[in-house]
Structure 1
Amino acid sequence: MTSPRSSLWLPALAVLGSVTSLCIGTSFAKKLFPLIGAEGTSALRVGFSALVLLLFWRPWRWPLSRRDAGFVIRYGLTLGVMNLLFYLALRTIPFGIAVAIEFSGPLAVAMIASRRAVDFVWLASAITGLVMLLPLGHNSTLDPTGVMLALGAAVCWALYILFGKQAGHLHAGQSVSLGLVAASLVVVPYGVAHAGASLLDPMILLAGLGVAIVSSAIPMSLEMMALKRLPSETFGIMVSLEPAVASLLAMLLLGEHLASGQWLAIGFIVLASVGSTVTARKARPQAVELAG
């Protein structure tokens, strides 16, 4: 008989594995930039991810109304633009910082939806972290264009959440696989136009397939398994660690060493994400009790 503690440890490890796999895949993807550029790398990742998940989920097994197709297309197009902007940002700013800036998107969605006083603490923490990262002073080492691209990815992530909720009633495998097909319609032509025939190199294609599996297929599968067994609060807290995990792995795999102030800024953003997750989940049972 499985104990309650072990039944939580396994899905928690799955979330950690998902975040780690995503960060490792993205770190290796960045090594392809000198060969096919950020555009070509993004095209391979999204294109192969769509193909793998199409074959795995076979979304045509479920009916899809015209209205739902519109939801999935908006969700997928936003996902595609988000991936492309994020990879373009990685050309000039460190991976961990790009992830931390991108996290401002879902944080903004959470803050806008809340009306509680405690959320102003998390908002202040997130703003503090962002201000510390943004190239506002003359001595900033961050490329302004890369930061703006990461902020654009943050906006897309916020929209992706909102559009994803519209398609939330669909089977997860159907919405994700068809969403990636829609995303590939944006990213693949753009990547092909920039990288050209170099994308047809067998070794490049093999590397792109590996990046797609490690940074998309494996994380999505682990997350779906964890979501069924893990409390939403715990899941949200562990996903919130992604900027820190990304920074650590980028340091080990890419040699991207951050200054102490940048680590502190990432810490403020992680604190905001964890804090908003904890207080949001604790507020829900109270609301149910009042309603009863």
Structure 2
Amino acid sequence: MDRRPKVPESFTSSERGSRIPPWSMAIVAMIAVQLSNALSVPVIEQVGPGGTAWLRMCFGAAFLWLIARPSIRSLKGKDIPALLGLGVVTGFMTTFFLAAVERMPLGTTVAIDFLGPLTVAGLMSKHRRALVWPLLALIGVVLLTEPWRGSFDAIGVGFAVAAGTCWGLYNVLTQHVGDRFSGISGLSLTIPVAAVATLPIGLPQVIGGAFTWWVLPAAAGIALITPVIAFGLEMLALRRMSHTAFGTLLSVEPAFSVIIGLLLLAQMPSPLQILGIAIVVVAGAAAQRTGSRSEQPAVADPPVPANAGDAAARAPRE
């Protein structure tokens, strides 16, 4: 007879999830985000960036509710502002970014976009000298956009800057919401908000666009990658990482975007643009080289089913 004490399944699932390094979840999330952005380009040509972002949020909300089955009754009044804020920021971060991708190469857009979280990492640092790194990254962005060649797209840059601002706020709010809700239950509450927030922009573009039969399944597949898998992994990673550590790890995302843009969109950067990307990556890596969250914050809401968080962690491998 086995006299060993029985360990609850929920505990073992949590333990298995905690063995996955948070940096690995963040890396997979970054690749997934850039893959979904590249795959969104044909959809943007049909229903516009706003329509594409809105469809992604709608399908993402449906998938997340099926996976997490969040409990609305467990919400507390103090949690609502953060959930609403994260939802709005997420929706417009995606909308602004896709609007920039419509006008500029993926690698250039991500490099400009990256200034947002990099600046947040500098501001969150205990050392004010860390703010020099966003300035260095700005030099890399200038090399990427090459304004002296007359091909500078001010509107595209404006969209990318707006997306970067939302990205910086997204990182801060994602960690806060991730601290309050277990698994991906917080994400399942914010993505519907994102869908509602972007509806006034997205729905008219979908209705007035060149809508074809493959747009809906394509948007659904992209939504499964981002926001479901990518944002879910980011939220799980941010629960175990500091803002500065996560911001530092994000430094490789512009490089991922260049590689994916080259492979999927045939966007070949010039040698000077490659140097610009390298400068952005170095600036991001140097911004903060350490930072971890030694204690996991208490979770405010009742745990979601054990398989919800695990499913999000397993999804990229499956």
TM-score relative to the length of structure 2: 0.76
In the alignment, structure 1 residue 174 sits paired with structure 2 residue 189 = no
Structure 1 residue 114, shift from structure 2 partner: 2.8
Q: 2: distance between equivalents of 1:8 and 1:71?
A: 28
| RMSD (Å) for aligned C-alpha atoms | 3.0
Task: Tell me which residue corresponds to 2:166.
Answer: 156
Measure the CA separation in 1 of the matches of 2:125 and 2:238: 23
- Corresponding position of 1:4: none
The farther-off stretch of 67-76 and 194-203 is: 194-203
Deviates more, 1:174-183 or 1:107-116: 107-116
Q: Secondary structure at the match of 1:17?
A: helix
Alignment gaps of 5+ in structure 2:
1-17, 295-318
- Give the stretch that moved more between structures: 193-202 or 98-107: 193-202
Residues 204-231 of structure 1, C-alpha deviation per residue, up to 9 Å, x if partnerless?
A: 1111101111232222344456667889
Does residue 79 (structure 1) correspond to residue 117 (structure 2)? The answer is no
CA distance in 2, matches of 1:117, 1:44: 41
Which of 152, 155, 160 is the aligned partner of 1:145? Answer: 155
Query: In the alignment, does 2:274 pair up with 1:241?
Result: no
Give the corresponding residue for 1:209.
220
1:91-125 deviation per Cα after TM superposition (whole angstroms, max 9, x unaligned):
11011111111111111112123352652542342
Amino acid across the alignment from 1:170: R
TM-score, reference length from structure 1 = 0.82
Q: How far apart are residue 132 of structure 1 and its match?
A: 2.7
Identity, in percent, stands at 29
Q: 1:223 to 1:154 in 2, by over 3 A?
A: closer
Q: Residue 276 in 1 paired to residue 283 in 2?
A: no
Taking the TM superposition and a 5 Å limit, the aligned residue runs for 1:193-232 are: 193-196=204-207, 201-223=212-234
Q: Name the count of aligned residue pairs.
A: 276
Residue from 49, 52, 76 that aligns with 1:41: 52
Distance 1:269 1:196, change over 3 A: same
Gaps of 5+ in 1: 1-6, 286-292
Deviation at 1:244, TM superposition (A): 0.5
Of 218-227 and 251-260, more deviation after overlay is shown by 218-227
Judge conservation of contact 1:130–1:269 (CA < 8 Å) in 2. Answer: yes
Summarize the alignment of residues 103-122 of structure 1 with structure 2, pairs less than 5 Å apart: 103-116=114-127, 118-122=129-133
Contact 2:178 2:238 in 1 (8 A): no
